[in-house]
Amino acid sequence: MDTSYNVVGSPHVIASAHPRFGVVSRCWAALLDWRLRVQIQDRLSNLSDHELQDIGIARGEIDYVASHRAVDPRGAVYPP
């Protein structure tokens, strides 16, 4: 099974030609995406308010930033 990596290093499994494997691949990709989102939330939550301010994130924005990794709040948009 092929695995491709996007800009932030999140592995996305490429769906196979067989429909059954396509469902499994999408479920696996969703699981990996969820795990990455949780890791990002944990890492950002462990930073101090000053460190978050340095990178331009408020504590209340952590969930949004973790869920929308492909969107840069400064205006740049990265491929998903």
Model confidence pLDDT, tens digit, residues 26-73: 899 999 999 999 999 999 999 999 999 998 889 998 998 888 877 766
* φ, ψ dihedrals at 31, nearest 5°: -65, -45
The predicted pLDDT at position 69 comes to 77
pTM value?
Answer: 0.61
Listed by start position, the domains of the chain span 3-67
Residue 3 confidence class, pLDDT cut points 50, 70, 90: very low
Contact (Cβ atoms closer than 8 angstroms) between residue 48 and residue 27: no
